[in-house]
Amino acid sequence: MKYTQLGRTGLKVSRLVLGTMNFGPQTDEADSHAIMDAALDSGINYVDTANVYGWGENKGRTESIIGSWFAQGGERRDKVVLATKVYGNMAADGDPWPNHDKLSALNIRRAVDASLKRLRTDYIDIYQFHHIDRATPFEEIWQAIDVLVQQGKILYVGSSNFPGYKIAQANEIAARRNGTIGLVSEQCLYNLAERRAEMEVIPAAQEYGLGVIPWSPLHGGLLGGVIKKEVEGGRRASGRAADSLANTTIRAQIQAYEDLLDKHGLEPGEAALAWLLTRPGVTGPIVGPRTAEQLESALRAVDLELSEEVLASLDEIFPGPGPSPEAFAW
């Protein structure tokens, strides 16, 4: 495994991030533990989750699965850089009672303690805002975070799904507060098929020293060889990938992508991850394996070097928007 610094921090993290969203809803506890063991054995030290994962009546289930894995010992917790998120509503389904979501100081305090209990740990390495909160000022948010840092409950703070201007606003307000380091990472939707983050989010992250953590690196399976799987195994695409392939223009684009990689003897999913690892500002993409085999495929991407010819061809198939303001102005 290869490692890099997380943004401007001294924290060393693996170039792949183990995403856990499938743990509970699609992968049972035993298989989830096996995947986490395999990831740790491979050198992945960055594990990402969120308090709402498990979804619906099972919100918090994913954190609990991670917590039971930590409880097995073997230095699991000490070896892991643990990231979780706050924002989503954690009230029981159908419960209209307020202050169980978003980024008020009250909810942040409650959410941290609840996550720590489920995760069976006394600290979170990277506590992430899952979305912007238009109703809560950053002065209030940072005051709550300062208290948690002083208590030793969190070490760093990151954002997820933030626009560029909110990254700037958050860190400018943090800079005016003595001792507040501000955001150190940003999780954003970013992959070959979805490159809008290159306009402002990634430049803002680079300017303020945030590590970029792309989520959905295979764009819901669209970049994982979906057409080839249909032809060879009869496995039809589902969800977002099926909706996208219904568009003839997108289907032709994905076919060109798969043909290019087949010509060079490359697996689509591995190439999509390897491409992200070449992008400026990217710390490492989040991979969310449902099985051990999917983890093994992702690991191969770390050592995969794409030729200049392949990179140029990928840019032709999936042209990026370019940086702003040039992307929308002269």
pLDDT digits (tens, 9 = 90+) for 63-89: 999 999 999 999 999 999 999 999 999
Structure confidence at residue 234 as a pLDDT band (50, 70, 90):
low
Which whole number is the average pLDDT over 175-188? 94
CATH H superfamily, domain 3-220+268-306: NADP-dependent oxidoreductase domain (3.20.20.100)
pLDDT at 95: 86
pLDDT, tens digit, 9 for 90 and up, residues 114-162: 999 999 999 999 999 999 999 999 999 999 999 999 999 999 999 999 9
Cβ 129 vs Cβ 159: under 8 Å? yes
State percent of the chain over pLDDT 70.
99
Nearest Cα residue to 129 out of 67, 184, 87: 87
Residues catalogued as catalytic:
53
pTM for the predicted model, two decimal places: 0.96
pLDDT at 237 over 90: no
* Averaged pLDDT for residues 179-199: 96
* Separation CA 178–CA 99 (nearest Å): 28
pLDDT computed for residue 218 by the predictor: 97
Tell me how far apart the alpha carbons of residues 145 and 205 are, in angstroms, rounded to a whole number: 20
Give me the chain's average pLDDT, please: 96
